[in-house]
Chain A
């Protein structure tokens, strides 16, 4: 099917996220990876919604200026449109005052959008793209169809795009790294430095100084009086003379041992050209030409480079070509200095006609197979996760049960968010979840393709904002920052920000909250553990013959005959007394074998050899005899008399800022919660991660060092990022980037070594989206536990702690600290349950 054949140069939709609109890309290259997948190197087009707001305004202004043919427009056409990057006040671009003056006029689309009704004007905006030079690589399987992107020509009306499906236009080029727009247009320069002086017509009687005889040499004229047949005959004669000449020439006769080969060599074009030249020079007299073909010195021999070269030279050439490629200057210098560059070039192009080259080309063709010209991608049929499965909903509502259109009608008290239609075969959830917007099938398609809703009036221009929250889902790139203002949702604040990052920071600093509704990014896997009952443990001992632990470890799916086990157990148990049974049950307890040294001695004695002394290398070097390093990389700071370290703590920028804000806002925050159930920052929200971290800081003493707050990727990701990366890697089944390897298993080492303030909980192990944060009180309680108690607690987190003084928190802490992921979850769950009644414990559930 031609429609599913995607070739290099096609513009296509790419689906990189199920909920966000397709991305529009142009295929630059198709490469087959060793694993057999096809990767597409693509050039990015950006939608209006992907561009920062000031740039959009600028683009509109530019277009408007262009449509009028004013001098201002001309000026604008040539400038590179720039905006400062990032900050809140970014709106002001580099503009001429004259252009700014035009700002009041309505900013509209290019190409006379003014003639269009508002709805179409709105839709036309979805068809505008911005070309970029940004190239990325995407798997070809994400292609979701073809589209066309053309440079808008001012003769075209926008309507012609609206009336065609999948048709987009662009006018400007967007540079994502610089955040600039550029009109992709060269210019014809005017001035004496560019134009030529036009020669005047010769005046009457004026002589032209040019004479053709100085400018050219006649090589052949058709006015020769010979018939074509005569010429052909002469050419045959010339070739036969050439053949004969080769027979006489000893160097040729070596190369062309057969007459056949000589004749072929004599038929090359050089002989023919020479024959024509001879004919011309002898005044088109066949006779004269013939005699000059066979002068007294012997028959004329014309050889081109192909023939001139010896076999060894040819080999040398091939070798050098292999080594240097087609750099003939270097080849000449290092391999064939006796040839001229022209010789080499001529030979090269002739050599390409030979078998040798053809062979080489075949090899190359095999190599080049990974570069594809086109790829077939079948239609994508899997349902989108946003598709609302209407039937269960209908059932739960007790409305019409038989699904279909009736069913959906029953479930949709809300209409299509875009077109207000109530009937549709498919419904898709759209926008932030809590709003529960839905789109009908056709509007969903429109949304995916054009990145907007069909009508503007439903949500006005805020549609993109709605969409933005939907993006919290994850895979969105950092680039597609919406250009709509972001409003703080806290009551009585409602500040607006250009970027989401700024909003997040604002929320974090001014309100102390972890940004907008922090939802878990992913559902973690359910953790389980097997709690062996005493009977089970006993059975393990008694039915030892049936157990074969190694075998079942190797093949965990082969069934164990439980009946047989039970049967055997009952038989065995019947013959055992209570004490014996207890003994059998306790058989798992390790025998006291004594220290290793003693065992070794015992074994040695048993074997009859002399009792070995403790090996020298086994003896620990005393601390004072340890070698001291020449250079201490991180010397410890001096100690104060009370034993604490003396150093000046450096505040991080965020902390300073937070302090300032705190002082200014006098934000009266509730007492720090002692126990807090906290959700994790989402995968993509670096900025939100920062918000979450600062929220945590507000809760207690500020940490000595903030985790990586800057969105710019740093060499070492923050803990949150680690967690996110691990989770993502786990979810996608891809290996982690190299620098994360130290932290696989979700248990990154504590990098700063400053105690357990910042916990990284494994995404893989935590059974629920919570973790326990120890307060000072909890920690002191924990300290009062004995080591054995802690271990026991870790091993059996469900068991109540012994010792009345131990708080629930401490118990949970024990689990969190010692047991790692799964146990921590269980422990914390228990702690939370128990803590519900306790006064100092506060449960914050953020979902």
Chain B
């Protein structure tokens, strides 16, 4: 379970230009348009050109019924705002109507969101990519035959089901402020998927996610819930995220990870009550990415759309391992980001009700549960192909025969970085500092992190220190496992 350096990965990104124009209805907080805003930011930051961009197919009913019940999908397919009255009974049964309204193009929206996650999972299975991103996905509340919390079709479950074809164990992590109940419920009784959800708990939607909910049957101890209180800030979040995730990685040893990046855990969210900044949120992506496992990033909640697009843009850059400037580039939606027009946001002064003692107690209880897992499951036959994913990038290039100039790819990436920072009007001197040109590093794995950054030097150097401590645990595991 070695952690990979903060390195360049092949990143595939799924986006359909239609997705931003679906509209849940007047006054509804869920705004698919945030995905389009993110997309435009990615283009203007120059991140677009560094990824493989895919337009996903529309998931078919057959694909969706891998998880969902037939009649539920049939219902979703046939319901429209103009024939709603004929479906009163079913709407009630499937919980469609209030939180989950019937809107124009509802089914297509579900198709695109699910299609992206499924295609991304297949991509990872084929080892054609290391990180896949589908900001249109992440609808984690949807149940087998029930819509819930603005979610109709659970693209995450569909994606995980796809991953399970190649991966014995898949880890699902949920950093949405809401509990990932749909995914947890879908895999509540299996030991092949561990669901880990960090969420606000206590008179909060959806009401599930108690510390005591740990799974059932074979899946007992394979559901991990971290109930949190209002005002989680970056520091507390990391203080609980890092130990839990590294413990989970150590005990569960997944071969693929799905991270739901619901951005409603950010400060100032319309529905959320946490106090995370874009940096703290993105930190989770960074930490998970380090494990170097096939990694699927999906969207989720997020109801203050300017911050959602900030967050997901930043997280895309983290996935790519590219630094982006704090100054937002001009784009169609530039005015949304006023008055400061910066990428990063600052936390509010709300009080954090999660005391260190509380977090410590939660953590200890979860550790106790994790200890109940059959430790270090036997290495399976499948583990060998998994390792191939983590191999040298040259191997991958050979696999992808359709790529045009595999040999020169590396060079291109390097120049790409330089060009970007130049185009974002950074000094040339900074480029010289790039550590990949400095071989005499003691900890080569950390070198990308050690780069001095233009706007927030102090903070980053602090991060660096943390990284060291975080790195230590997984490293030890490597030796113990070996």
Contact = CB atoms under 8 A, between A and B. Distances in A.
A202 interface: yes
Contacts of B66: 196, 199
Given A193-B145, A269-B331, A155 B184 contact: no
B97 to A, nearest CB: 16
A105 interface: no
B104 A194 contact: no
B203 to A, nearest CB: 6
Interface stretch (B120-128, B277-285, B451-459): B120-128
Interface in A181-205: 184-190, 193-196, 198-202, 204
A276 B43 contact: yes
B6 to A, nearest CB: 18
B122 A155 contact: no
Contacts of A217: 54-55, 57
B423 interface: yes
Contacts of A349: 20, 33, 36-37, 333
A223 B412 contact: yes
A198 B21 CA distance: 34
Contact of A346 (B14, B21, B161): B21
A208 B125 CA distance: 9
Nearest to B18: A342
B119 A154 contact: no
A228 interface: yes
Interface string B155-196: 001000110111110000000000001001111111011000
B21 A216 contact: no
Given A151-B202, A304-B332, A187 B51 contact: no
Contacts of B403: 221, 223
A153 B353 CA distance: 13
Interface in B56-100: 56-57, 66-67, 69, 81
Interface stretch (A324-332, A679-687, A725-733): A324-332
Interface in A133-154: 148, 150-151, 153-154
B165 A269 contact: no
B46 interface: yes
Contacts of B416: 222, 227-228
Contact of A190 (B189, B210, B353): B189
Contacts of B418: 228
B312 interface: no
B408 A341 contact: no
Contact of B419 (A195, A214, A229, A327): A229
Interface string B263-284: 0000000000100000000000
Contacts of A200: 164-165
A666 interface: no
Interface centre among B21, B211, B230, B408 (most CB of A within 10 A): B21
Given A199-B161, A220-B53, A194 B144 contact: yes
Interface residues of B, number: 112
Contacts of A284: 404
B52 A196 contact: no
Given A196-B161, A201-B168, A220-B53, A228 B26 contact: no
B334 interface: yes
B115 to A, nearest CB: 7
Interface string A200-237: 11101000101110111111111111011101100000
Contacts of B161: 196, 198-199
A9 to B, nearest CB: 7
A329 B81 contact: yes
Interface residues of A, number: 76
A336 to B, nearest CB: 15
Nearest to A10: B351
Given A193-B144, A225-B408, A228-B46, A160 B357 contact: yes
A158 interface: no
Interface stretch (B235-243, B294-302, B360-368, B469-477): B360-368
A194 to B, nearest CB: 5
B21 A326 contact: no
A156 B362 CA distance: 9
A471 to B, nearest CB: 29
B415 A186 contact: no
A273 interface: yes
Contacts of A358: 335
B57 A186 contact: no
A153 B104 contact: no
B186 A221 contact: no
Of B188, B332, B381, the most chain A CB neighbours within 10 A belong to B332
Given A196-B187, A304-B332, A327-B26, A221 B164 contact: no
A352 interface: yes
Contact of B404 (A173, A225, A326): A225
Contacts of B404: 223-225, 284
Interface string B331-361: 1111110000000000001100100011001
B153 interface: no
Given A201-B165, A212-B122, 15 more contacts: A151-B201, A160-B357, A190-B188, A190-B216, A193-B69, A216-B14, A220-B51, A220-B52, A224-B404, A228-B415, A228-B419, A272-B43, A272-B44, A273-B43, A342-B105
Q: Report the 8 A-B pairs with minimum CB-CB distance, sorted nearest first.
A: A228-B419, A186-B207, A151-B202, A215-B119, A353-B335, A220-B53, A186-B208, A155-B361
17 contacts: A9-B350, A131-B203, A153-B211, A155-B211, A185-B207, A193-B145, A194-B188, A198-B164, A208-B166, A216-B14, A217-B57, A218-B54, A222-B52, A276-B48, A345-B20, A349-B36, A353-B335
